[in-house]
Amino acid sequence: MAASGYPTWEEFTTTSFAARHEWPLLAPETPSFMARDIAREPKDLEGADVVIIGAPYVAASGGYYAGVPMEDWIAAPKRVRQQSARYPSGYIQDFDLDVFEHLRMVDYGDADIPESVMHDQTPENVLAAQAAVETRVNDALRAGAVPVVIGQNSPCGSFAIAKPCSEHVDGPVGCVSLDTHWDASKLDYLTGDPRIAGSSSWKHKMYEFLDNMHPRHLVEIGERGMLEDKDIVRRYLREGARFISAWELRTSLGIAGLVGELDRAWDGTKGVYVHFDMDCIGGSGPAPGDILGELAEPMGMTDYETIRIAHEIGLRGLTGMSFICIPPGSAVIYRVIVYIVMYLAAGLALRKLGKGA
C-alpha cells in the first residue's frame, strides 16, 4: 500500500476487479479511461461523442496544496483511470443501458503541461500550462465532442475549459458549478497577476474575460459556512445567479427541487459549461473529509447528489465539463469520479435516444 493509503499498481492489478480485465495503456500504470480507445492526435477524435482529457496540475508552492502533498493531488487523472479499469463495460444497470452502444468515448491522454510549472509557478509558466489544456479541449470541441477534463487546480481544471467552450459557442453560455468556495476573488492569490484565473479567482476571471458568459446564467451549488466575502456573494445574487446552498438543498429544496433549478443554465443560452469542484462533498462523501486538508467543510454534498446532478446535466446536453479538487488518496473517491462521468454519459446516450430531460 502506498504511503497515502492508495494501493500500489501491483496490488491494484492483482487483487482488485481490474485483475479480471485488459485495457490499453496511456503510460506505465495508466490505463485508458474505461478501456476506451486512445486518441494520440486530433484526427483520432473523429466521430467521438465524449473525450477524456487529463490535466495534472497543482497550484502549489513548497510541495503542498491545502496541507496535502502535491503528489497525491496530481495523481488524480491517473488514479481515476485506474479505478475505471475495474469495470468490464459501459453497462449501467440502473438504466439497463450500455452507454458504449450509443456513444463513442475516447481517451485523449493528458495535456502537455510543462513540468517546470510544478516547481516554478510564474505567471508565464501558469499561462503555458493553461494553454496546453486549452489545446486539447479545442481539439475535442472541433471534433464535435464533449471534452471532460479531469484536473485538480485552476486555471488548468476550470478556466482552461470554460474559455474554449465560450469561444466555441455562438451565443450566451450558461454554467453549472458545484463547489464549496465561490472562487470569485478579483486576483489570484498565488501569483498576484491579473491575467491568471487561479484557484480563488477563476470564476471572477471567467466573467471578466468571456463576453458571452454572465452570472444570470449561473447555477451555483453547494457552498456553505462562513468562508466567503458577503459582498462577492451578494453581487452574484444581484446579477441574477441562482445560488443553491447546501443548507437550501437539505432543508427546503431537496435533490428533486435542485434538478428543476438546473434549467436556469439552459434557459436563453446556446451552450453550457459544467464544473465540478469535488471539495463540494466535504466529509459527506464515501471517504473522510480530512483527506481534503484545509478544503474540507461540514455539511457537504453526497456522492449520490453529485452523480445525480451529472446525469441530469447529460440529459440536457452540455458543451464541456471539468473537475478540480478531487479528494486525494481514496480509491472509492476516484470511483465516484468514474460514476459521475459515466452517469453523465448515460444522460447523453438517453438524450441521443430521444429520452432527454
Specify the pLDDT at position 152.
Answer: 95
Three-state SS at 289? helix
pLDDT of residue 1: 46
d(CA 161, CA 138): 9
Structural domain spans, the chain: 9-352
pLDDT of res. 283: 83
Which DSSP letter does residue 20 get? G
H or E element that contains 173 = strand 173-178
Q: What is the pLDDT of residue 284?
A: 87
- CATH of the domain spanning 9-352, picked from 3.40.800.10, 3.30.300.30, 3.40.50.2300, 3.20.20.70: 3.40.800.10
* pTM for this entry: 0.97
Q: Which residues does the chain have with pLDDT short of 50? A: 1, 3
- pLDDT recorded at residue 124: 96
Q: What do you get for the CA distance between the two ends of the chain, in Å?
A: 43
What pLDDT does residue 275 have? Answer: 98
pLDDT score, position 119:
85
Q: What is the DSSP string of 46-112?
A: TT-SEEEEEE-----BTTEETTEEHHHHHTHHHHHHHHHTT-SSSEETTTTEEGGGT--EEEEEE--
